[in-house]
Amino acid sequence: MVIQSPSLPAGSITGDQASLSLDYIADPVTALLALDHLVPDALVVPTDVVGVSTAALVSGVRQWSGVPVVVALGQDVTAITVAAEAVAAGCHGLLSVPLTTTEIAARIRDVLGVQVHSRARGVLAVPGLQVDLDAMRVLAPGGREVTLSSLQFACLVRLLRAAPAFLSTAELADELGLLGANADERTRRVVHRLRRRLIESGCTADLLENVRGQGYRVAA
């Protein structure tokens, strides 16, 4: 999700749009309201965002939702000072405009990949699915690669590590860093989208099981 600004207008990020889904949001308030239903992998906030302090926005997002925040240094004269304040507030990285999808995707992988690789590396597998943690690749039946967002990948890894046991929705939300009053609902959306991507890639519909009223697990 990208908040627009004078230095970062809608459509200004170049590169392969198929590799990274971009949602341009007109203003900070709309972005905050959209965090719940869009469940983005990250929020890109420019230093010249209009109507709010960048540092205050970073701090608020971290406390409310847990979505990683990447700050984009604009062309404004105060960009360096604002960026330093954003770092102090806990942003997850800095990029300079003009931006490309490759740069943003790499920064998101760095942020979420640290969590994914925090345990032993290697390959996780169940019948019909293989996950290479080092390459961050998911292979479906027949060796078909499954394209997942970083958040979906992290969700799958955590469920695989827990298999055959289940993770409660609250536990999974905590593992993924989804915080706030709507954390459970946002977690359900992540799992729903993950399941849909796996099925579209040839995995069986029951690979991800919903343990009614309790949580989710991978059928081992």
- Cα(139)–Cα(2) distance, integer angstroms: 30
Whether residue 95 sits in one domain with residue 51: yes
Whether residue 26 sits in one domain with residue 126: no
Please check the confidence at residue 2 and state whether its pLDDT lies above 90: yes
Report the DSSP pairing between strands 215-218 and 208-211.
antiparallel
Residue where a domain terminates, one of 74, 95, 114: 114
Domain count for the chain, please give it. 2
Whether residue 195 sits in one domain with residue 108: no
Query: Which range marks the domain in which residue 212 is found?
Result: 118-218
Taking the whole predicted model, whether its pTM rises above 0.85 is answered as no
Residue where a domain terminates, one of 80, 97, 114: 114
Whether residue 95 sits in one domain with residue 31: yes
Whether residue 99 sits in one domain with residue 16: yes
> What's the CATH number where 94 sits?
3.40.50.2300
Give me the pLDDT at residue 177, please: 74
Q: Is 3 helix (H, G, I), strand (E, B) or coil?
A: strand
Q: Is 70 helix (H, G, I), strand (E, B) or coil?
A: strand
For 73-97, the pLDDT digits (tens) are: 987 788 999 999 988 888 888 889 9
Could you tell me the pLDDT band of residue 17, with boundaries at 50, 70 and 90? low
For 106-162, the pLDDT digits (tens) are: 887 777 654 444 444 578 888 888 888 777 788 988 888 888 887 888 889 889 888
